[in-house]
Amino acid sequence: MAAEIDALVIGAGFAGLYQLHTLRNRLGLSAKLLEAGGDLGGTWYWNRYPGARCDSESHAYRYFFSRELNEAWECSERYPGPPEILKYLGQVAERFDLRRDMRFGCRVVSAHYDEKANRWAVETDAGERYVVTYLVAAVGCLSSANVPKIPGLSDFSGKWYHTGNWPHESVDLGGKRVGLIGTGSTGIQAAPVIARDAAHLTVFQRTPTYSVPARNGPLTPEFNRWVRENHEEIRAIAQSTPNGHAFRIASRNVADVTPEERQAIYEAAWETGGLQFRATFRDLMIDQAANDTAAAFLKGRILATVRDPKTARALADIDHPYAAKRPPIDTDYFETFNRVNVALVDLRADPIEAITPRGIRTQSTEHLLDVIVFATGYDAMTGPLLAIDIRGRGGRSLREDWRAGPNTYLGLQVPGYPNFFTITGPGSPSVLTNMPVAIEQHVEWITECIAHLRRSGIDSVEADPEAARKWGEHVNETANATLLSKAKHSWYYGANVPGKPRVFMPYAGGMARYRAICNDVAAKGYEGFLFNRGGVREAPGVRGGEVERFAVERGPGI
């Protein structure tokens, strides 16, 4: 027997919890949430690797829709770690009584649209079935772990872990020889903590990366009071900046200041720490010469920190502009290479050939290991959606439709998949922002859209293929107008997963501009979407006209 309800939400992270709240508590729909993990938390349920911590500052890494919620929550550190974020989300679930409609340990394996009934038939790995009108994927952008297919992994006699599927019971690395593959945001967080526990750590680096100190620390009662008292102001900043953080991007260009002033600005930003480094100048992401100055400063810091010259050179030999790949922030990452129990293997000079029963064999050496940690990232953005067998109108399959790359309108809907919504889907700012801010905007837009359908007697909404095509072009153009396009080997392009189409997936036009586009689209009666009312198709407004208008208003979107 299938359970029949109005709406089903997949995923119990920031996105899923808020979406369940709005659909059930604001619109009064019958709604359920299904989650593959054993509890709520989304990315924070799975990512419990040593050193895991949020890169967004805690006063912005939260929901802003409720002042009361904000007043009831106090964070202890500048950057919250998984236990604190899980506690926060637990309080949210309790406050809005969400758990009674959440099911854990339920992986959705298929979702098929029944055109005649205008319903989605959804099935879990346990064979449970749901028949629903509205289906919302809140599956996260970085939830499909990428374990590279290195020959020999199954022969390894030690233990191995991917950081995104870290065991919930504690992993004792004490006295162990650990190999860490990957030096993105995760590897950079994990290395210093693993190095403190392990007998020896070998870091296998394929692409060196910039990093700025996080400068984490406890928050004072005064700061927390300021956060409570300035809820509206912090929200206003986070919702008006291109990246959804609660700091503004400077309005000056690099060329506006003298080299001495520039150096002082970078030094101050280095001392402040965190992602704010990117906000020092407005043209860092659009002007190569401007970016070169930040890159030179950051490379200089690596060379000044790491004592062994060969290791320092390998770490600082970075081939892409600063922040063209997602910029990590760290706590003692480069300092870690000064420890006697830490070694760097530069895979560009000495590539991995195989994993052996005893460790990792590179071209020159067999590195003996007890544990291998894969900090090798994710099949980002499309991976979590394509892991589900999603079939739309006429049985068309999302895996087929996206064979050459994702195709969405605003990252919210896919042509041919009525009443199916994606929160922070490909084509939306998502991973280029402070995620809760992007999530809130999507949840609220989807909620208002569904409310509109119900008020107006509309049976279904889906993206107009022409509007989606134009939006895809705009997403590409926008990325090409920034230096993000200079790091083709990034997960933004899907380049980390062999065989994945090379398409720039997030929208680089900035969160504030994107929000304005979505608002205009809704204000014009959902321009660029198609409605079905009593079997009759309607196309409100001009198709995707807003997209064209915004496309010409170029600026530093990110």
Among 130, 334, 491, 550, binds ligand N01 (CB under 6 A): 491
State which of positions 414-433 bind ligand N01 (CB under 6 A).
431
The reply to whether 333 sits near ligand N01 by the rule CB under 6 A is: no
Q: Is 181 in the site for ligand N01 (CB under 6 A)?
A: yes
Q: What is the CA radius of gyration of the chain?
A: 23
Q: Minimum Å distance from CB 52 to ligand N01?
A: 7
Helix (H) / strand (E) element for 119: namely strand 119-124
Considering only residues 86-105, where is the footprint of ligand N01 by CB under 6 A?
A: none
Smallest separation, CB 166 to ligand N01 (Å): 11
Q: How far is CA 434 from the centre of its chain?
A: 8
Among 274, 377, 544, 557, binds ligand N01 (CB under 6 A): 377
- Residue linked to tokens 């449970």: 128
Closest distance to ligand N01 from the beta carbon of 234 (Å)? 18
> Closest CB to ligand N01 among 377 and 406?
377
Q: Which stretch binds ligand N01 (CB under 6 A): 154-162, 181-189, 335-343, 532-540?
A: 181-189
Spell out the residues 6+ positions from residue 437 whose beta carbon is closer than 8 angstroms to its own.
60, 64, 238, 239, 244, 245, 511
Q: How far is it, in rounded angstroms, from Cα 177 to Cα 215?
A: 28
Region binding ligand N01 by CB under 6 A among candidate stretches 152-160, 373-381, 514-522, 528-536:
373-381
Pick the closer one to ligand N01 by CB: 11 or 182.
Answer: 182
Instruction: Give least dist CB 168 to ligand N01, A.
Output: 18
Edge-to-edge strand list for the sheet holding 200-205: 159-162, 371-374, 177-181, 200-205, 342-346
Pairing, β 177-181 against β 200-205: parallel
Q: Which two tokens stand for residue 382?
A: 């499309």
Candidate segments 13-21, 123-131, 184-192, 458-466, binder of ligand N01 by CB under 6 A: 184-192
Q: For residues 516-545, b (16+ Cβ closer than 10 Å) or e, as one string? A: ebbebbeeeebbbbbbbeeeeeebbbebbb
8 Å CB contact between 83 and 170: no
- Choices 178-186, 193-201, 249-257, 421-429 (CB under 6 A): range interacting with ligand N01: 178-186
* 238 membership: H or E segment, kind and range: helix 231-240
Among 69, 257, 347, 516, the residue binding ligand N01 under the rule CB under 6 A is: 347
Instruction: Compute φ and ψ for 342, nearest 5 degrees.
Output: -125, 135
- Range in contact with ligand N01 (rule: CB under 6 A) among 104-112, 172-180, 182-190, 279-287: 182-190
How large is the angle between the packed helices 231-240 and 435-455, nearest 10 degrees?
Answer: 90
Distance of CA 232 to the CA centre of its chain: 25
Structure tokens at 255: 């060329």
Q: Which is nearer to ligand N01, 206 or 301 (CB)?
A: 206
142 touches ligand N01 by CB under 6 A: yes
Minimum CB–partner distance for residue 82 and ligand N01 (Å): 10
* Among positions 376, 424, 428, 485, the unique one binding ligand N01 when judged by CB under 6 A: 376
Nearest to 61 by CA among 196, 206, 247: 247
Q: Which is nearer to ligand N01, 148 or 501 (CB)?
A: 148
| Closest distance of CB 398 from ligand N01, Å | 23
Q: Which of residues 124, 133, 144, 185 is near ligand N01 by CB under 6 A?
A: 185
In angstroms, the CA 281 to CA 255 distance is 9
Q: How many amino acids of this chain bind ligand N01 (CB under 6 A)? A: 25
Which CB atom, from 14 or from 134, has the smaller least distance to ligand N01? 14
Task: Give, in degrees to the nearest 5, the angle at Cα 327 between 325 and 333.
Answer: 125
451 binds ligand N01 (CB under 6 A): no
Task: Compute φ and ψ for 365, nearest 5 degrees.
Answer: -150, 155
Q: How far is the CB of 133 from ligand N01 (least distance, A)?
A: 33
Member of 184, 242, 429, 436 binding ligand N01 (CB under 6 A): 184
Closer to ligand N01 by Cβ: residue 206 or 515? 206
Which of 7, 18, 55, 372 forms a contact with ligand N01 (CB under 6 A)?
55
* Interface positions, 186-225, toward ligand N01 (CB under 6 A): 186-187, 189, 204, 206-207
| Cβ-contact 534, 550 below 8 angstroms | no
Cα–Cα distance, 464 to 457 (Å, whole number): 19
Between 347 and 451, name the residue whose CB sits nearer to ligand N01. 347
| Residue among 11 and 377 whose Cβ is closer to ligand N01 | 377
Q: What is the DSSP string of 133-192?
A: EEEEE---SS-SB-----TTGGG-SSEEEEGGG--SS----BT-EEEEE--SHHHHHHHH
Tell me the closest approach of the beta carbon of residue 43 to ligand N01, in angstroms. 8
Select from 87-95, 116-124, 179-187, 464-472 the region that touches ligand N01 (CB under 6 A): 179-187
Dihedral pair phi/psi, residue 492, rounded to 5° = -60, -30
- Whichever of 323 and 410 has its CB closer to ligand N01, that residue is 323
- The rounded distance, in Å, linking the Cα atoms of 102 and 89 is 13
Query: Scanning residues 351 to 370, which ones bind ligand N01 (CB under 6 A)?
Result: 352
- Residue 182 touches ligand N01, criterion: CB under 6 A: yes
For 90, the enclosing helix (H) or strand (E) is helix 82-95
Binders of ligand N01 among residues 250 to 309 (CB under 6 A) are: none
Residues that bind ligand N01 (CB under 6 A): 54-55, 142, 148, 181-187, 189, 204, 206-207, 326, 347, 352, 375-378, 431, 491, 496
